[in-house]
Chain A
Amino acid sequence: EADIYQTPRYLVIGTGKKITLECSQTMGHDKMYWYQQDPGMELHLIHYSYGVNSTEKGDLSSESTVSRIRTEHFPLTLESARPSHTSQYLCASSGGQGAAFGSGTRLTVV
């Protein structure tokens, strides 16, 4: 079973608030990813990292930012949440084989 943890599982927040979605993995994987997925829709890569202090934007333009100060931790921050940010956010990590996903954070911005 994959050891990748996301918190919170569900979050309802008001417009304009700053939020940080947490993602941690205990497998020592170098590569970590953030995906955004709306219900019934495809995965969109928004950020990825291939090691400490390395982060790259993904294929989907996003107003979020990420950091990778420690191997195990890859948080995603939205400085000012908007209703258009309402979605499911999935974190994943990979040690060279397939990617393992966390349980996701379902974000609703009201």
Chain B
Amino acid sequence: QKEVEQNSGPLSVPEGAIASLNCTYSDRGSQSFFWYRQYSGKSPELIMSIYSNGDKEDGRFTAQLNKASQYVSLLIRDSQPSDSATYLCAVSGGYNFNKFYFGSGTKLNVKP
């Protein structure tokens, strides 16, 4: 079982819609959760971090964490073609607190 699981997609949404990206993790002791955006040929860029259960909003992005279900999600409201990228979920702070565990990423396509 992988540490972090994501649906590889692609997830296609029309411009202006809400994109919902999901992630599950296996280490129940994990404490820190992150979403990265990676454009093709570029490095991952941190867009959201969340540390406690519930929702955290930043502009058009909302991260949601449910530790009981070991589930993290990212909502992108009013999706734009420029949001088309691969979104990586990352988890840290578990049994090996020095490491980040990345999912394989979900490719998002926002159609104009």
Q: Which of A31, A39, A40 contacts B98 (CB 8 A)?
A: A31
A20 to B25, CA, bound (A): 34
Q: Report the bound CA distance from A31 to B34 in whole Å.
A: 16
B99 engages A48 (CB within 8 Å): yes
Tally of contacts, chain A with chain B, CB under 8 A: 44
Q: Is the CB of A97 within 8 A of B49?
A: yes
The interface on chain B, measured as residues whose beta carbon lies within 8 A of the other chain's beta carbons, has a size of 20
Considering residues A43, A45, A103, which has the most beta carbons from chain B within 10 angstroms of its beta carbon?
A: A43
Known A-B contacts A48-B99, A99-B90; A43 and B43 likewise in contact (beta carbons under 8 Å): no
State which size class the interface on A falls in.
Answer: 20 to 34
List the B side residues contacting A104 at CB < 8 Å.
Answer: 43
| Beta-carbon contact of A101 and B100 below 8 Å | no
Contact A100 B99 (CB under 8 A): no
> Does A74 make an interface contact (CB < 8 A)?
no
Whether B49 contacts A103 by the Cβ 8 Å rule is: no
**With A and B bound together, what is the CA distance between A20 and B15 in angstroms?**
44
Does A48 lie within 8 Å of B44, measured CB to CB? Answer: no
B102 near A50 (CB under 8 angstroms)?
no
B44 with A43: CB separation less than 8 A = yes
Tell me, in angstroms, the Cα distance from A50 to B98 when the chains sit together.
7
12 contacts between A and B (CB under 8 A): A40-B40, A42-B102, A48-B98, A56-B98, A90-B44, A92-B100, A100-B46, A101-B43, A101-B45, A102-B43, A103-B42, A103-B43
- Which 6 A-B pairs give the minimum distances between C-beta atoms? A42-B104, A101-B43, A98-B46, A98-B34, A50-B98, A43-B102
Instruction: Report B's interface with A, CB cutoff 8 A.
Output: 32, 34, 36, 40-46, 49, 88, 90, 98-100, 102-105
Chain A positions near chain B (C-beta within 8 angstroms): 31, 33, 39-43, 45, 48, 50, 56, 58, 90, 92, 94, 97-104
New contact pairs (13) apart from A90-B44, A99-B34, A100-B46, CB-CB < 8 Å? A42-B104, A42-B105, A45-B100, A48-B99, A50-B98, A56-B98, A58-B99, A90-B43, A98-B90, A98-B100, A101-B44, A102-B43, A103-B42
